[in-house]
Structure 1
Amino acid sequence: MSSASIPSVPPLLTGVRGRFHSRDVAVFQNLARRHWPAAGPVLPRLSRSANHGLLWFAAAGAMAAFGGSARARRAALRGVASLAVASAAINTVGKGAVRRERPILDAVPVIRQLKRQPVTTSFPSGHAASAAAFATGVALESRGWGAVVAPVALSVAASRVYTGVHYPSDVLAGAVLGVGAAFALRGVIPTRGQLPAPGRPPAEAPALPDGRDLVVVVNQESGTATATASLVKDALPEAEVVECPPDRLSAELEKAAGRGRALGVCGGDGTVNQAAAVAAVHDVPLAVFPGGTLNHFAYDLGIETVADAVAALGEGSAVRVDLGRFRPGPDGPGGAHGYFLNAFSLGVYPELVRMRERWSPRIGGWPAGVLAALRVLRGERPLEAELQGRRRPLWLLFVGNGLFQRVGPAPGRRHNLADGLLDVRVVHGGRTPALRLLAAAVAGPLTRSPIHAATRRQRVRISGLKPGTPYAYDGEVAHSGSELMIDKLPEALTVYCPRPV
């Protein structure tokens, strides 16, 4: 190799910095001369696919759409958010702090070089930072998905040296910055695993390790319930599993509650809502198997998989939880009470739920929710209602069954599933619903402002409603009369729940 191919040390890089640069160049040239088996057709393409984070956005989209669990969606979102933090740090501070020139490509075989060479400075590697940030963010929420993403992230980082666009130290510094960005974000927005488990008073329930005397009712049209039911049959061979369409769900739940020592249910929040009402009336413990598009109640119990529910059944581990109640119920003034495990709401959310349910069979639940939100926030008007004796326009009235913690800007996990309190949040009417809802989310759970108010109550009275006003409870939509009364039944339901780790 000629002396012309060896980059000289710039005059400013003297002393320790100069020696470090010289060693970095030597390592780079050594790697450039080496043969990397099977890397030729893979690494250059992988390096190009990661331009502008496109590879990671595609990976996050696939995880969210096909991951099959809330944990996968959380991991995808945290990965993208961590990448965004790392990119901001690289572009605002990193590239300008050390203006290092790119490596000279004389030692790199032409077949390995990128067709379009980057024009920014070399230190640190933005690709390595994005890869490390995404992989670390994903792993902080889900070790399983982290293990899937990590080899791809390592390959992207290695590709930057392989193609000759970065020195090894550029890649190492970028990776360190990316990991740091993911942990910095976790310091601001905790992962679900960092949050303390909700308080739940223990309850007596029979241990059913093989599922004997357990009847599980499955909503055939609820999310992944049919696939989940197959897992339940394998894990609990003695359990009786009844699959039925939504119009027979209520009748099958009533029959099941009278046949076994415990009632099981497989479906989303709306399905679990119906099972909870039956279990509370018949005073039998409830086993929840998450199988819907949304499974908020199951996740707050610490049940994210069939294995979690099976473990609780095997140990007879159970807790008592509050049951939210509203009157009149969804059958009208002469009907029974309505119940909710998670939340009751008026305003834009019921319309969002209705539109999401209409579109989700065609495009999937997650994309349908995004499109429904865009459509609703653009065209809706605030409703008029009298709340606690005062009439006002409202974009949203949210009543949570228990106080919710924050995970970032939105309500997250509940502090206590049996605290006897309602978490009441109001977004006042105005011309810009999207901005007002966002401001209310950022404001926090217990604030008062011209836009948003939040308080703790044991009961809420709403009157002056236009008859037929839609409301939502646990993802289901019904229509009101002129007034509603919302309160709670403390510790009304016994539910199987894994023991805290």
Structure 2
Amino acid sequence: MLEWVRRAARRVNEVDAELVRRSAALPRTVADPALGAVTVAANHGLLWFSVAALLASRQGVTRRAALRGVAALAGASLTTNAVAKPLLPRRRPVDDLVPEHRRLADRPRSSSFPSGHAASAAAFATAVAMESPAAGAVVAPLAAAVAYSRVHTGVHWPSDVAGGALLGTAVAVATRRWWPVRPTTPGQARADERVPALTDGAGLLVLVNPASGDQNHDPSAELARVWPAATLVHPDGSDGEDLAETLDRVLHGDWSSVRALGVAGGDGTVAAAAVVAARHGLPLVVVPAGTLNHFARDVGVPDLAGAAHAVAEGAAVRVDLAAVRVDDGPSRSFVNTASLGGYPEMVRLRERWTGRWGKWAAGAAALVRVLAGAEPLTVRVDGQLTRVWLLFVGNNGYHPQGLAPAWRPRLDHARLDLRYVRADVRFSRLRFALAALTGALTRSRVYVRQERQSVEVEVLGPPVALARDGEVSARGAEGNRFRFVARDRVLRVYRPAEID
């Protein structure tokens, strides 16, 4: 076995030497200084941080790609420099193997195997492509140039680059374990063929919340251009009752002329409009105009053009609503999630930081802040006494099943996704954090996930706030008894037919 390893190593060295000789024999071109510049720019990952900043300048898939890319870059750099290089020492090529004009002024002195530059480049490019194939296709040639530049400048053998690239790719793919990639297809839902086709928007009443998302952009002009016959309304508030009162005043209580209700805003505004639509039996048109737009993405309406297409062809699906009754108050619906304990505070912090860092990074930072200073809640969950740090209820089952529920494969399953982090286990916060970081949360004793049709939560102690669809209940609206229930396929939502 040992002799076979020695023969394999000699063969690798022979191939490396031959490839380096061929590279050195290439004629001098303008590519030489460019490759030298790009290899220096990639020192300490500075080139990739710059690309990540550019990708993160826009919300959405490119920002997610940037965040995953930086996470993979950090993992690859740590694995290469702290593990692989010390365990697998190898001498670098000597200076005179490549022409003098290619040589770097400051040659690295660490182990030649594996190439840290190649590992970082492959990790970043692979991670970006996992979130955004289009962005990955743009980044990949730059990553390939960085990897080859290490051979071209004479500081690595080709096998060092190949090993680094394999390691970086593996690290990027491994991020899926604790940070799954959101699928491109929307959640499944049963098609509904009884919604009207409204080409010019006649009979369409659209609620517009300019305060959602980019507060410097009011989508009213675009909506009027797409649906010139529609009626646009700017509500007094985002609460369901406020919306109902605003609409009643606009319509003088006569809903007979309204054939569909539209909403342009974030998830909180969409949830409030959904309540009104379900109450009056109207199909809902969702125009994503918020920061995160979870519901619109799950339904499969990515933008105004998608909504207009669905409305023009009269295509819709039936989806569930979930409802919660706080103490003896009225039942309030939510389209995405509701939460208790540390979650409302985490929502506040996440929303405050999302614009600066992106959703995932803001959510992780908010979770750390909340868990560090939170006080556990003593609760009864369907009569079972326990203590929890935070409690989450989703409208239908969310994926992934671990730390950061992000999407739903189905929207019409009539189930609640109940999750909570136990506080009645020793070192529960530490165990929760370690399980989340290692991707083993679903097997941890401190984490509970169940699917139910209904659930009742009683908080023993002072009243607490409830967060619904990213909106935290106002002070004075807290409660102690929370009864959650799934309502099967009560809402019709326009969605392009080709998705079904």
Query: TM-score band, normalised by the shorter chain?
Result: 0.7 to 0.9
Task: Give the corresponding residue for 1:3.
Answer: none
Task: Give the corresponding residue for 2:467.
Answer: 472
- Residue 68 of structure 1 is aligned with which of 51, 59, 77? 59
Task: Give the corresponding residue for 2:381.
Answer: 387
Q: Residues 133-152 of structure 1 correspond to what in structure 2 (within 5 A)?
A: 133-152=123-142
8 Å contact from structure 2 (residues 117, 164) kept in 1: yes
Match status 1:270 vs 2:268: yes
8 Å contact from structure 1 (residues 448, 454) kept in 2: no
Distance 1:164 1:253 in 2: 71
Task: Work out the number of aligned pairs and report it.
Answer: 479
- Residue 161 of structure 1 is aligned with which of 134, 151, 176? 151
Task: Give the corresponding residue for 2:3.
Answer: none
Task: Give the corresponding residue for 1:48.
Answer: 40
Distance 1:288 1:114 in 2: 56
* 3-state DSSP of counterpart to 2:146: helix
Distance 1:239 1:226, change over 3 A: farther
Distance 1:112 1:18 in 2: 22
* 424-433 or 145-154: bigger deviation: 424-433
Which 5+ residue runs of structure 2 have no aligned equivalent?
Answer: 1-5
Distance 1:51 1:362 in 2: 26
Distance 1:488 1:45, change over 3 A: same
Equivalent residue letter for 1:338: R
Distance 1:363 1:87 in 2: 21
Distance 2:210 2:29 in 1: 55
- Residue 404 of structure 2 is aligned with which of 382, 392, 410? 410
Distance 2:224 2:148 in 1: 43
* 3-state DSSP of counterpart to 1:193: coil
Match status 1:454 vs 2:449: yes
- Residue 192 of structure 2 is aligned with which of 187, 203, 228? 203
Task: Give the corresponding residue for 1:294.
Answer: 292
Describe the superposition over 1:37-87 as per-residue Cα deviations: whole angstroms up to 9, x where unpaired.
5x63x54443233233343344335534x2211x22332233234435544
Task: Give the corresponding residue for 1:488.
Answer: 486
Distance 1:271 1:214 in 2: 17
Match status 1:435 vs 2:430: yes
Equivalent residue letter for 2:333: Y
Distance 1:231 1:135 in 2: 38
Distance 2:258 2:81 in 1: 62
Percent of aligned pairs with the same residue? 44
Equivalent residue letter for 1:201: R
* 230-239 or 137-146: bigger deviation: 230-239
Distance 1:225 1:500, change over 3 A: farther
* 436-445 or 378-387: bigger deviation: 436-445
TM-score of the superposition, structure 2-length normalised? 0.81
Task: Give the corresponding residue for 1:316.
Answer: 314
* Structure 1 residue 337, shift from structure 2 partner: 1.7
Describe the superposition over 1:431-467 as per-residue Cα deviations: whole angstroms up to 9, x where unpaired.
766435436755556x783x23232222222235445
Task: Give the corresponding residue for 1:5.
Answer: none
Distance 2:440 2:157 in 1: 45
Distance 2:489 2:376 in 1: 35
Which 5+ residue runs of structure 1 have no aligned equivalent?
Answer: 1-10
8 Å contact from structure 1 (residues 50, 127) kept in 2: yes
Distance 2:371 2:389 in 1: 10
* 307-316 or 104-113: bigger deviation: 104-113
Match status 1:30 vs 2:25: yes
CA RMSD of aligned residues (A): 3.8
Distance 1:63 1:97, change over 3 A: same
* 3-state DSSP of counterpart to 1:410: coil
* 339-348 or 281-290: bigger deviation: 281-290
* Structure 1 residue 253, shift from structure 2 partner: 5.5
* 3-state DSSP of counterpart to 2:51: helix
Distance 1:222 1:132 in 2: 37
* Structure 1 residue 224, shift from structure 2 partner: 3.1
Distance 1:104 1:420, change over 3 A: same
Match status 1:423 vs 2:421: no
- Residue 118 of structure 1 is aligned with which of 104, 108, 111? 108
- Residue 238 of structure 1 is aligned with which of 204, 228, 236? 228
Equivalent residue letter for 1:203: D
Distance 1:418 1:137 in 2: 32
Distance 1:386 1:289 in 2: 39
* Structure 1 residue 89, shift from structure 2 partner: 5.8
Distance 1:175 1:369, change over 3 A: closer
Distance 1:486 1:275 in 2: 19
Equivalent residue letter for 1:377: L
* 3-state DSSP of counterpart to 1:120: coil
Distance 1:396 1:402 in 2: 19
Q: Residues 172-251 of structure 1 correspond to what in structure 2 (within 5 A)?
A: 172-183=162-173, 186=176, 190-193=180-183, 197-204=186-193, 205-209=195-199, 211-224=201-214, 227=217, 229=219, 232-233=222-223, 236-238=226-228, 240=230, 242=232, 244=234, 247=237, 250=243, 251=245
* Structure 1 residue 317, shift from structure 2 partner: 2.6
* Structure 1 residue 142, shift from structure 2 partner: 0.9
Distance 1:189 1:365, change over 3 A: closer
Distance 1:436 1:93, change over 3 A: closer
Distance 1:461 1:361 in 2: 34
Distance 1:457 1:17 in 2: 58
Distance 1:239 1:288 in 2: 17
